[in-house]
Amino acid sequence: MQRALPACAPELRFLGRGWGEGVCHHAPARMTVCAVPLYRGRFAPSPTGPLHLGSLVAALASYLDAKSQQGLWLLRIEDSDPPREVPEASNWILQALDKLGLHWDETVLRQSTRQEAYLAALHDLAQQGLIYACRCSRLALADHSIYPGTCRDLQLPWQEGAALRCRVTAQCWRFQDRLQGEQAQNLARDCGDFVVRRKDGPFSYQLAVVVDDAHQGITDIVRGIDLLDSTPRQLYLQHCLRLPPPRYAHVPVLMDTTSGQKLSKQNLATPLDLARPAATLWHALWLLRQEPPPSLREDSVAQVLAWAVNNWRPAQLRGLTQLALAAPPL
Ligand SMILES: [Zn+2]
């Protein structure tokens, strides 16, 4: 009788990009080389409200980019900022993705379970002399778009009510964005020492995202262009923490052309029409300039996604920073 091979993917140690090598703990010693997927992408929503068309556009772009390269698509719930969260929102998001056929690989990672990992990263940075406490009030910083370094050399105690900042240098951080081209930022000049732990407790997005992307072995980040500006801070933290930098592709954000605002939970974007998931996916594909055939709208979710994976053309978004929200053509 032929025995099925045990599923070994979760046992593989991620060793970087490419169909690389990994250690398979199920296999005999001389069979230790297995293939691991070269592409590990992710979608990382914050549970601050239901999924809306703007977040679907970003989710779909990252899903299609991963699946068109035979990659895995992971899901992370960025629930490390309780005051901003809406109870039930993470369930709404998971249910909406499921209904839209955007099934994720592996288990969902929740940032609320990752405090120890963030703390370890913080201690690592602190041992390198990169962290200091800052007691500046919001008012004191109101006139500064870049932190002026007030507390940099004061050696204030790390205690309640103090934020923790990471020192930056005048080094220029460059990266090649797959859609937006060459990017460069001098952190000292353009950003300043930035907060890694807020005075009210939560770790900053910058620290958490870098630690979690490395933990999940993410090779490719496809996300909204509103996060382009924070990428050099993440590259800097990856460098300081000796973590591999992923590739980046920043997709244009959906704009409400009547208000001139980015479509977000804050400006109460209309929730998705989940009663007609295939048509909703079609609309998102059309907004992403993938030119889906009109007949596809009447097909199943699986058929729409199969077409979209086979026909994914990220180059349609190259150099674009905004997509105009418009109703789908009749
Ligand atoms: Zn300060």
Write out the DSSP string of 294-321.
GGGGGS-HHHHHHHHHHT--GGGGTT--
Instruction: Give 135 Cα–ligand 1 centroid separation in angstroms.
Output: 5
Instruction: Give 134 Cα–ligand 1 centroid separation in angstroms.
Output: 4
**CB-based contacts of 190: which residues, under 8 Å, 6+ apart?**
146, 232
Q: Is 53 left (phi over 0), alpha (psi -120 to 50) or beta?
A: alpha
Instruction: Give 156 Cα–ligand 1 centroid separation in angstroms.
Output: 9
Instruction: Give 116 Cα–ligand 1 centroid separation in angstroms.
Output: 25
Instruction: Give 131 Cα–ligand 1 centroid separation in angstroms.
Output: 12
CA nearest 234: which of 177, 151, 150? 177
Asked if 226 contacts 295 with a C-beta cutoff of 8 angstroms, the reply is no
Instruction: Give 198 Cα–ligand 1 centroid separation in angstroms.
Output: 12
Instruction: Give 52 Cα–ligand 1 centroid separation in angstroms.
Output: 37
DSSP tag of 101: T
- CA atoms of 219 and 311, how far apart (whole Å): 22
DSSP tag of 31: G
DSSP tag of 179: T
- CA atoms of 124 and 150, how far apart (whole Å): 23
Instruction: Give 180 Cα–ligand 1 centroid separation in angstroms.
Output: 34
Q: Across 153-306, where does the E strand assignment appear?
A: 163-166, 172-177, 181-186, 194-197, 220-224, 247-251, 253-256, 261-262
122-154 pLDDT, tens digit per residue, is 999 999 999 999 999 989 998 899 999 999 999
Mean pLDDT on 249-265: 78
What is the pTM (predicted TM-score) of this model?
A: 0.86
Instruction: Give 152 Cα–ligand 1 centroid separation in angstroms.
Output: 7
Q: Hunting for tokens 């998102």 — which residue is that?
A: 284
Kindly report the length of the chain.
Answer: 330
Instruction: Give 199 Cα–ligand 1 centroid separation in angstroms.
Output: 11
Q: Which of 19-28, 41-50, 301-310 has the lowest mean pLDDT?
A: 19-28
Q: Quick one: tokens of 223?
A: 């996300």
CA nearest 52: which of 230, 272, 232? 272
Predicted confidence (pLDDT) at residue 37 exceeds the cutoff of 70: no
89-106 pLDDT, tens digit per residue, is 999 999 999 999 999 999
Q: pLDDT above 90 covers what percent of the chain?
A: 73
Instruction: Give 159 Cα–ligand 1 centroid separation in angstroms.
Output: 13
Out of 3.30.360.10, 3.40.50.620, 3.50.50.60, 3.40.640.10, the CATH code matching 37-324 is 3.40.50.620
Instruction: Give 242 Cα–ligand 1 centroid separation in angstroms.
Output: 27
Instruction: Give 149 Cα–ligand 1 centroid separation in angstroms.
Output: 6
